[in-house]
Structure 1
Amino acid sequence: MDGKNRSSLTIIHLLGFQTPHSITLLIFFLLLIVYCVTVCGNLLIITLVSYSKSLHSPMYFFLSHLSISDILLATDILPNTLHALSMKKTIMSFSDCITQFYFFDVSETSECLLLTVMCYDRYVAICKPLHYTLAMNFQFCYKMVITCWVLSVSIVLILTLTISQLTFCDLNVIDHFFCDLYPILQLSCSDTSFVQLEVTLLSSLFVVIPFFIIIVSYVYIIITIFKMSSISSRQRVFSTCSSHLTIVCIYYGTLLCVYLIPSRGKSWDITKFLSLLYTVATPLMNPIIYSLRNKDLKEAVDKIIHYCLDLLWHKQHNVLSN
């Protein structure tokens, strides 16, 4: 009976967005543009940090890995969402659904951990500037990044394997635009209390505790800023962490709304909209808010543009000379 129920659920119907036909095409092209800008913007950051010596610092090193996480998240969610929009619903195998959830959760967990590490970097730089070079050496940074990715991959794998062992009924319709945790659990006809307990424990370890660390770190950062006598110094120091703080507020704010606010009385349309914020909007805003406003990154972009223009000019000059 258990094997029969498990094998009966082979196809998942994702309903996606139930939008009027008149605006479906507009939303499709809007999300397509968002996806292209997200991937290109984050790839630009990774390229700049890799090749520009002026950006070889812990802050940009962590930022490049945050961009990798954003590309993973956007690529996992948006192509399938675009397909669902064009077809009004999309059909995928149960294994593909579980795989999508796995990579979604890996990117979300890594984002939480990387944002925490980036916050610690700002804390040391502002509150303990004399110890910054020693504390944030590249050996330590590499260890922190590797730890973030290993924890994300392994912990989410444990949760995904636990979910895949549940018994699922014939009901195979998910009223969402991607395979999220609770829509998947709603398809199960077995007891999911152990999975929910596991989710609560893992969320406490890898979402709540990092969020608490970020809050405590920013309390110390703000206290340090207010102790500065010069107003210009306050503004300059605060500007170095304001973008990170903005992303943290948006990211954790939407996570809290989706997963901690009781679902009773909350429509799926609101849930989908909030899910869009942290699966689509946040990966788009990270390179814009946190990076492309940054003076160092702008200078790196200018150098690359001038280098390419000079290279093109010399190539054309050589052709004309020959």
Structure 2
Amino acid sequence: MNELYNKLETYFQFEKADSIVISISKSILLIISGAYFGLFLKEINSEPAIYRFNHLIYAVIGVIICMYIEYRRLKKERNFPVSILEHLKASEELQNLRNLYSRKIKIYEYIDNSIQSLNSNTCPILGGSENDLCHQDLSSGLLGVLTDLVERPNYFLNIDETKFTVGVYLENIHDRNSKIGELQSSEKFFILRDDLEINDQFPESLFNMESEEEEYFQIQTAIMESKKFDKYLCKRLTLSTRNLTIICSPITNVCEDCPPDGVIFTIYTEEKQCSPDMENVFQIFGRIVSNGISKYNDCVRSSKNIKVEEKHDHKEVLGKN
């Protein structure tokens, strides 16, 4: 690559020096040719008229030489080393592909970290508890399996923005504080990162539409739309105070025929086009969270001596075939 740049730089440096010399030479030649032509006109208009055609010939020769020099210059421009630029373009495209491949490898590594974190908290470990999810705060458990997504959302989204709000909305979360033989469930927003400082604006219930701020109302309805229609969303919210982009991805239920367990969402201020591979990435993280929540609920049910019903009703997912 450096060799190509050096060749291109050498070409332009030579052309610049050559153009200066040629421009000066052309100017002098045109002045001389003009002088001879003016002298010829003066002589034929004098009394008596003098015809010295050699002066006219000198003027014509000077003009012809200038035309030839200009022709050579235009020919050089036509023969500009386009192959160098084409090679540079190909090299840039290759570098972009390498960066894209490197990014995908890193994303796969982060996903693998999340899977390992989930396994370490849900699978029996020699000398440890059977299920760490049962003995820790659910917010900490979610942060554990989504650490890389929470800490590096700009890398996943392939943007330069540094301020994000990353959260998870979940419903049907079993309460660890329920009495033995009883089981209470609830819904909740878990804000795992809040650079935009909007944590206090999220309601206790997704369906509590009492927000007086348009900004938060639109965020809430976007999350609701993703949940209700089981679809990935990347929406730009043009508001009075600031422009936001929100990405929402449903958390697929472990029971495929059931509606989503909730939504993973990311909010940021940049309005760049969402990366096309984000739907699949968020879907994978959603399945990881879904498995974690399923294990958590199983653990709570077991601790409260509640058996899982083998049969249950499947609620229809709107907009899903």
Place the TM-score, normalised by the shorter chain, in its bin: under 0.3
Q: Which has the larger radius of gyration?
A: 2
Q: Report the structure, 1 or 2, having the larger helix content.
A: 1
Q: Report the structure, 1 or 2, having the larger strand content.
A: 2
